[in-house]
Structure 1
Amino acid sequence: MKLILTTEVSGLGAPGDVVEVKDGYGRNYLIPRGFAIRWTRGAESQIASIKKARDAREIRDLGTAKEVAGQLGALKVKLKTRAGESGRLFGSVTTNDIAEAVKAAGGPQLDRRRIEIVNAIKSLGTHRVSVKLHPEVAATVEVEIVAG
């Protein structure tokens, strides 16, 4: 089955890429979740707009990505959230919360889809979060979660 990716799928491709996948994977996973659309001649015209939007969000080159990674490494990010007396949060911290906290701390504007939280953040304290800036560059940001 031939599909056009609308979002980045790890191990498969980036938005706007035309990929060939097994029928069940495309029909049961990618299309229902909105990760891809069926490839048709008419959909070919959508590829240009998808790639244009991706280029606007993406960090241009390797040098810029390394520079942003350096900024993120030196940044002290504090995120205030509601928590109980035992230190457990009401809910969990999302990638959108982290992107806003980085911007508030004076860091660069980050795309929330590039932020990877390995284990859900549900407690107070310092947590490490990975940010994929470029296919070759990933930065680690330490986020301090405080009761607020």
Structure 2
Amino acid sequence: MQVILKQDVDKLGKSGDLVKVADGYARNYLIPRGLAEEATPGKIKKLEEIKKVEERRAQKMEEEAREKSKLLQGKQVTIRVSAGEKGKLFGSVTNAHISEAILEQLGVEVDKRLIKMEDPIKELGLYPIKIKLHTNVEVEMKLKVEA
């Protein structure tokens, strides 16, 4: 029997997958617990349409990420902070600070959760940062921290 999974099921598949299982397993376990529904031709067609829409949306998001990457790749952003003697900062530079600086200086909005740094920035200097705009799109930039 073919069923469409409504939820992720271990060792069987993810939500939205069309899988073939034993009749008893489907009727006695998957369907009564709301984990799956019987795959009728209408439901299979609807599932295929949903997957096409999701695929187009994912493709559009990747294209937008590639356009952003062209604007950001290899650029440098400068952040001015208050620092003590020997270049030590009072606090540290956070992803939110970097995101704001990119928006102000380059005019590109970047979510702070996408910014990856190797170590927290607590001194003046030049630092490499990576921004993961999409699963396939990653940008490298320079961050200059000055007093």
Distance 1:139 1:85, change over 3 A: same
Distance 1:85 1:132, change over 3 A: same
1:118 shift after superposition? 1.4
Alignment length, in residue pairs? Answer: 95
Query: Percent identical across equivalent pairs?
Result: 32
Structure 2 spans left out of the alignment, 5+ residues: 1-6, 11-33, 35-57
- 1:63 and 2:63 correspond: yes
Residue pair 1:77, 1:142 contacting (<8 A) in 2 also: yes
For 2:134 and 2:60, the matched residues in 1 are separated by 8
- The residue correspondences of 1:121-136 to structure 2 (distance < 5 A) are 121-136=121-136
Distance 1:67 1:88, change over 3 A: same
Residue pair 2:74, 2:142 contacting (<8 A) in 1 also: no
Counterpart code for 1:128: P
For 2:98 and 2:8, the matched residues in 1 are separated by 31
Distance 1:78 1:59, change over 3 A: farther
1:20 shift after superposition? 7.5
User: Which structure shows the bigger proportion of residues in helix conformation?
Assistant: 2
Structure 1 spans left out of the alignment, 5+ residues: 1-17, 22-40, 42-57
Specify the alignment match of 1:105 in structure 2. 105
Specify the alignment match of 2:79 in structure 1. 79
Residue pair 1:78, 1:144 contacting (<8 A) in 2 also: yes
Question: Which protein has the larger Cα radius of gyration, Structure 1 or Structure 2?
Answer: 2
Q: Deviations over 1:61-114 (max 9, x none)?
A: 333222211211243311001111201111111000000000111231111111
Specify the alignment match of 1:146 in structure 2. 146
Q: TM-score, normalised by structure 1?
A: 0.57
For 2:144 and 2:9, the matched residues in 1 are separated by 42
Counterpart code for 2:69: A
For 2:72 and 2:9, the matched residues in 1 are separated by 36
Q: TM-score, normalised by structure 2?
A: 0.57
Residue pair 1:59, 1:134 contacting (<8 A) in 2 also: no
Residue pair 1:76, 1:105 contacting (<8 A) in 2 also: no
1:125 shift after superposition? 0.9
Secondary structure of the equivalent of 1:139?
strand
Task: Note the aligned Cα RMSD (angstroms).
Answer: 2.5
